[in-house]
Structure 1
Amino acid sequence: MPERFKFNANPAALADLRQRLEKTIWPDEVAAEPWRYGPPVSYMKSFTNYWLNQYDWAAQERQLNDLPQFQVDIGKHRIHFVHQIGQGPNPIPLVVTHGWPGSFVELVKIIPMLTDPAAHGGDAADAFTIIAPSIPGYGFSSRPLERGTSVFAVADIWLELMTRLGYERFGVQGGDWGSWISAATALRHPDRVLGLHLNYVSTRFRPALSADDPPLSAEEEDHLTRVSRWAESEGGYIAIQATKPLTQSYGITDSPIGLASLYVEKFRSWSDCQSEPDEIISKDEMITNIMVHWLTGTAHSAMRLYSESREHPLHLAAGQRILPPCGIVNLPRELPMPPRSWAERAFNVVHWTKLPRGGHFAAWEVPELLAADIRTFFRPLRAK
């Protein structure tokens, strides 16, 4: 049975973190436009000063502990999850899965918008019961010690979790790795998945084309060109995390600023900010996410999902499609997103939305817009 969970950081770990931050050895840098080669030293020094002198972990810890959190053993894994009951006449169970370099922290703002829509300008009839698990190797879920915890393995864990919670049919939603895991869940268990809502379709996703499929359109060819250019300029992290994650893990496990600089760069590069990431994602939110990874020692285990997915890719056979109804959201500052025709080669797309703002971290950046689209997509599926 699931057990209630609250996290209280070890005071010795917090004291050690402070000492490491205070003793940071800073790199040099060459003159260049800000952020060209990564987070500027001046920004990271300011970020560290805020972390040391203004950030309040105790307050953030209390906020996280206000959520109904649980842990449960499933196979060799101890899975952490939030289970927030919906406030409405017939809430749909919805598994919402985070990504990297995020954690369940990135979902904190959107959970109440989905579970209690009437309190956020919506209709109580659109309520969801939210199950927000932490992917194995992330934060308060256990770290896999053996190979094999791929997106398919996680999809099966989510199915078992929902079975134990008594939910026969449910929706799935996610961005980043959450989109992969949600898609894998819908692919492997279509009879259990009511609908699939994605705010990201991976740049590495390639539908298998059969002789019966139409040839690639000019729009689809352009998408592949954009993906190739993006991979050349921005995809270096994928290469190392998919092949040699342990190499990078020594630095980010030993140095909190090493970890923070890696995450902050992604928060900036992938969000809908104009200059600095905290225009969109506050320093408190970024640091709390970093703290969850740091205090649980899961920086390395989190990135291992890249190597697992390289070894166990989400590929479809020629002509194979993911059958449950699918809704896809496009955000203007997202990583290269495919045209609808490309997605329809693999998904049963019945809902397609372009939002006016937002980037890769939609639940953090534009939770109101994302929540509204999730409600709209699932509305006609509630009677099924």
Structure 2
Amino acid sequence: MSQTQPAITRRTLLALAASASAVGILPNAATATSATPGITPFKYTATDEQLADLHRRVVAARLPDEENVADDSQGVRLGTIKKLAKHWKSHDWRKIETRLNSFPQFITDIDGLDIHFIHVKSKHENALPIVITHGWPGSVIEQLKIIKPLTDPTAFSGTEADAFHVVIPSLPGYGFSGKPRETGWNPPRIAKAWAVLMERLGYTKYVAQGGDWGNAVTELMAVQEPQGLIGIHTNMAATVPADIAKLLSSGAPAPADLSADEKGAYEQLDDFYKNGLGYAIEMNNRPQTLYGIVDSPIGLASWMLDHDIRSYRMIARSIDGEKEGLTPDDVLDNITLYWLTNTAISSARLYWDNAHHPSGGFFDPRGIKIPVAVSAFPDEIYQAPQSWAEKAYPNLIHYNRLPKGGHFAAWEQPELFTAELRASFKSLRDQI
């Protein structure tokens, strides 16, 4: 089944899926949810014309003058973009497309919107179901490296007792999910949709995981306490105490009585609030204005690279040829997905929706009562201190400070991330 645009009608999807099954090109569907009412098998194949147009635009890109500073204080450096553009000319989208299509993918309507998701069931009978949510500027591509280690642990230095059934949805307006035509698709609403999804898949006991927007969605699932959710894991925890948040908002220096870990977190957050929020301010207020990143792949790439300074610098080093958590191909796989699905602005509207339908501060504790596990990576926007995590999550069942890794933890450090999920939920497995 070849599909060039994800936003097509339910009737068309059903017809295409039936046709695909008839000719046997969906071999993985039977192992997951193809027989479940309201769930349609899905594959995506970009057209040759789409890829040719992308490459033409990359070659024809008009670039700005070089920055007039000797560092990245003005944003993504011209040299970095030139090297990325050169690599893009030889980037093979078909490789990641084939990899995506090797996993069972599906579409289901929830609350009037088509939701795309990957669903891979473990061969191990007592596997723990988990729903994993990406963020911006990410996609389901972030989690591809952890699917097999989670579902087939005995092949990846684990035991049968470490197995998970894995569900990875695309956020509304992202990737292959539908683009909301109404406002209000904010994290609380998405959290409710994910609970519907897990129930629809037949999971009566499950856990949830997320970072970035995925953390907001996952934590709000925990606040809502849907029947079946027994615990969550976060790699970008919301733990900042109210008094600390107030000081940060005023631009005050770190209080003298903070521990070393707390002081480090304070300084990371202070730097992010002062220097790293440009993209979020624009998307919070005027996402529809970003026509340039819909029309120019190079514009889109620069916008997506400039998320947080440590991720940007890691990616820039990778583009320069250094061995890092992400490769240039990793980065271009994700940017190309945004380009092909035309989701630069539809994904940005999540910021607007959250700002106009507030669900709490991004790093403010939410009063979660169910079990929570925290993995604190050093190059995240901030490395949550254990002292703050213990206050934010009264039922903290796991905390670990990792030696390396940043904002895209599952993508950058899949082995560490897999080990964290195994350890985080070990104590909850007797509940399934």
TM-score higher than 0.5: yes
CA contact (8 A) 2:230 2:371 kept: yes
Alignment of 1:196-215 (within 5 A): 196-202=232-238
Match of 1:368 among 415, 420, 431: 415
CA contact (8 A) 2:279 2:307 kept: no
What residue number does 2:5 align with?
none
Deviation at 1:271, TM superposition (A): 6.3
CA contact (8 A) 1:155 1:184 kept: yes
What residue number does 2:328 align with?
283
CA contact (8 A) 1:88 1:126 kept: no
Match of 2:212 among 162, 176, 179: 176
More divergent stretch after superposition (24-33 vs 358-367): 24-33
Match of 1:313 among 358, 365, 371: 358
Residue 202 (structure 2) pairs with residue 166 (structure 1): yes
What residue number does 2:384 align with?
338
What residue number does 1:2 align with?
39
Alignment of 1:221-236 (within 5 A): 222=263, 223-224=265-266, 226-236=268-278
Task: Go from structure 1 to structure 2 and tell me whether the alpha carbon gap of 1:13 and 1:86 turns closer, same or farther (over 3 Å shift).
Answer: same
Deviation at 1:319, TM superposition (A): 10
CA contact (8 A) 1:272 1:359 kept: no
- Per-residue CA distance 1:37-79 (angstroms, 9 max, x = gap): 2222222122112111x21112221111111111111122100
Deviation at 1:208, TM superposition (A): 9.6
* Uncovered stretches (5+) of structure 1, i.e. residues with no partner: 210-215
Residue 162 (structure 2) pairs with residue 126 (structure 1): yes
- Per-residue CA distance 1:140-167 (angstroms, 9 max, x = gap): 0011111100000100110111111111
Distance, in Å, in 1 between the alignment partners of 2:44 and 2:242 is: 41
CA contact (8 A) 2:80 2:316 kept: no
Residue 283 (structure 2) pairs with residue 244 (structure 1): no
What residue number does 2:399 align with?
352
Task: Go from structure 1 to structure 2 and tell me whether the alpha carbon gap of 1:271 and 1:28 turns closer, same or farther (over 3 Å shift).
Answer: closer
What residue number does 2:183 align with?
147
Deviation at 1:375, TM superposition (A): 0.4
Task: Go from structure 1 to structure 2 and tell me whether the alpha carbon gap of 1:285 and 1:304 turns closer, same or farther (over 3 Å shift).
Answer: same
Task: Report the secondary structure of 2:288's partner residue.
Answer: helix
Task: Go from structure 1 to structure 2 and tell me whether the alpha carbon gap of 1:361 and 1:378 turns closer, same or farther (over 3 Å shift).
Answer: same
CA contact (8 A) 1:194 1:381 kept: yes
Deviation at 1:262, TM superposition (A): 1.4
Task: Go from structure 1 to structure 2 and tell me whether the alpha carbon gap of 1:120 and 1:201 turns closer, same or farther (over 3 Å shift).
Answer: same
Q: Percent identity?
A: 39
Task: Report the secondary structure of 1:27's partner residue.
Answer: coil
Distance, in Å, in 1 between the alignment partners of 2:262 and 2:91 is: 46
Deviation at 1:6, TM superposition (A): 0.5
Deviation at 1:314, TM superposition (A): 3.1
Counterpart amino acid of 1:172? A
Distance, in Å, in 2 between the alignment partners of 1:298 and 1:286 is: 16
CA contact (8 A) 1:80 1:133 kept: yes
Deviation at 1:253, TM superposition (A): 0.5
Residue 230 (structure 2) pairs with residue 189 (structure 1): no
Task: Go from structure 1 to structure 2 and tell me whether the alpha carbon gap of 1:208 and 1:123 turns closer, same or farther (over 3 Å shift).
Answer: farther
What residue number does 2:74 align with?
37
CA contact (8 A) 1:139 1:292 kept: yes
Task: Go from structure 1 to structure 2 and tell me whether the alpha carbon gap of 1:126 and 1:273 turns closer, same or farther (over 3 Å shift).
Answer: same
Distance, in Å, in 1 between the alignment partners of 2:67 and 2:315 is: 22
Distance, in Å, in 2 between the alignment partners of 1:171 and 1:119 is: 22
CA contact (8 A) 1:272 1:333 kept: no
Calculate the aligned-residue CA RMSD, in Å. 2.5
Task: Go from structure 1 to structure 2 and tell me whether the alpha carbon gap of 1:67 and 1:274 turns closer, same or farther (over 3 Å shift).
Answer: closer
Distance, in Å, in 1 between the alignment partners of 2:53 and 2:147 is: 32
* Uncovered stretches (5+) of structure 2, i.e. residues with no partner: 1-37, 245-255
CA contact (8 A) 2:110 2:197 kept: yes
Counterpart amino acid of 2:410? A
Task: Go from structure 1 to structure 2 and tell me whether the alpha carbon gap of 1:30 and 1:274 turns closer, same or farther (over 3 Å shift).
Answer: closer
Match of 1:26 among 63, 69, 77: 63
Distance, in Å, in 1 between the alignment partners of 2:67 and 2:356 is: 37
Deviation at 1:217, TM superposition (A): 6.6
- Per-residue CA distance 1:235-261 (angstroms, 9 max, x = gap): 1222111111112x2011111100011
What residue number does 2:343 align with?
298
More divergent stretch after superposition (10-19 vs 291-300): 10-19
More divergent stretch after superposition (2-11 vs 338-347): 338-347
Deviation at 1:312, TM superposition (A): 2.9
Deviation at 1:336, TM superposition (A): 1.6
What residue number does 1:50 align with?
87
Deviation at 1:113, TM superposition (A): 1.1
What residue number does 2:303 align with?
262
Task: Go from structure 1 to structure 2 and tell me whether the alpha carbon gap of 1:79 and 1:207 turns closer, same or farther (over 3 Å shift).
Answer: farther
Residue 92 (structure 2) pairs with residue 92 (structure 1): no
Distance, in Å, in 2 between the alignment partners of 1:149 and 1:340 is: 32
Match of 2:370 among 324, 338, 360: 324
Task: Go from structure 1 to structure 2 and tell me whether the alpha carbon gap of 1:122 and 1:207 turns closer, same or farther (over 3 Å shift).
Answer: farther
- Per-residue CA distance 1:121-152 (angstroms, 9 max, x = gap): 11121100000000000010011111100000
Deviation at 1:383, TM superposition (A): 0.5
What residue number does 2:107 align with?
71
CA contact (8 A) 2:381 2:407 kept: yes
Task: Report the secondary structure of 2:370's partner residue.
Answer: strand
- Per-residue CA distance 1:328-371 (angstroms, 9 max, x = gap): 01111111233233233332212110111111110111110011
Distance, in Å, in 2 between the alignment partners of 1:319 and 1:261 is: 32
Task: Go from structure 1 to structure 2 and tell me whether the alpha carbon gap of 1:79 and 1:285 turns closer, same or farther (over 3 Å shift).
Answer: same
Task: Report the secondary structure of 2:314's partner residue.
Answer: coil
